[in-house]
Amino acid sequence: MTAELFALNLPGLTQLPGFAHGEETALLAAVERVIAAAPWRQVITPGGKAMSVQMSNCGAVGWISDRRGYRYSAADPLSGRPWPAMPEGFARLAARAAAVAGFAGFAPDACLINLYEPGARMALHQDRDEVDVSAPIVSLSLGLPAVFLWGGAARADKAARIELHSGDVVVWGGAARLNFHGVLPLREGVHPVLGRRRINLTFRKAL
Ligand code: SIN
Ligand code: FE2
């Protein structure tokens, strides 16, 4: 743990501002290698709407959505091939963050990679397609800042607004593992490295 590490807490959510500072260049290079093999794509919800966020995955399984529903799949539906392996640095970083948040031994097998451009958003939802919800969710933000909505167990619960910056990590689990969360429409901006983009990685134990 580094000396400057500090954590902020809302019920069920551990915020680790700047947790990945110093690793962003390496993390982005690894994201680019994943995207070269499994390109960004627009995902359709079961209801037939195109999500405003573009997605890809790495790891043993990846989160997909289509007319048939939401699920994890070992194959990238675009190529029919397995998703790119999870870069070692990703799993290590996620495990370190999880441990700080009180979840020792976190071993993610899936990493959903979301790309936001200005206006893209993620409506309030639960992450509930994972078999084992005793493992936490670890989320890493890169690029433009975003407002993360941290709700409660019910969709109607009032959501806290948390600004997430490049290099920030948040972790949720335990009693809050199925809490609703989302992201407000990304504001216009230019990040020195990512330009008009935000990339979010969520690490999950899906199987
Ligand atoms: C998600 O809930 O999958 C994404 C969260 C984020 O982009 O911060
Ligand atoms: Fe989510």
Tens of pLDDT, residues 27-57:
999 999 999 999 999 999 999 999 999 999 9
The overall pTM is greater than 0.85: yes
Cβ atoms of 113 and 31 within 8 Å: the answer is yes
Query: pLDDT tens across 109-127, in order?
Result: 999 999 999 999 999 999 9
User: Which ligand 1 atom is nearest residue 182's CA?
Assistant: 2
Range 156-176 average pLDDT: 97
Indicate whether 187 pLDDT > 60.
yes
Which residues does a 6 A CB cutoff place in the pocket of ligand 1? 112, 114, 122, 139, 148, 181, 183, 200, 202
Domain with residues 3-204, CATH architecture = Sandwich (2.60)
Question: Which of the ligands is closest to the CA of residue 128?
Answer: 2
Query: pLDDT tens across 62-74, in order?
Result: 999 999 999 999 9
> Measuring from atom 3 of ligand 1, which residue has the nearest CA?
202
What pLDDT, on a 0 to 100 scale, did the predictor assign at position 38? Answer: 98
Residues, CB within 5 angstroms of ligand 2 (ion): 127
Indicate whether 2 pLDDT > 70.
no
Q: Give the 3-state DSSP-derived string for the chain, with helices as H, strands as E and coil as C.
A: CCCCCCCEEECCEEEECCCCCCCHHHHHHHHHHHHHHCCCEEEECCCCCEEEEEEEEEECCEEEEECCEEEEECECCCCCCECCCCCHHHHHHHHHHHHHCCCCCCCCCEEEEEEECCCCCEEEECCCCCCCCCCCEEEEEEECCEEEEECCCCCCCCCEEEEECCCCEEEECHHHCCCCEEECCCCCCCECCCECCEEEEEEECCC
Cβ atoms of 189 and 119 within 8 Å: the answer is no
Each as own residue / partner, the long-range contacts of residues 157-163 (CB below 8 Å, 24 or more positions apart, any chain) are 159/124, 160/10, 162/10, 162/13, 162/15
Q: Which two tokens stand for residue 171?
A: 């972790």
Choose one of 114, 138, 140, 168 to mutate for the ligand 1 pocket test, by most ligand atoms within 8 angstroms of C-beta.
114
Tell how far the Cα of 161 is from the centroid of ligand 2, in angstroms: 15
Choose one of 16, 57, 139 to mutate for the ligand 1 pocket test, by most ligand atoms within 8 angstroms of C-beta.
139
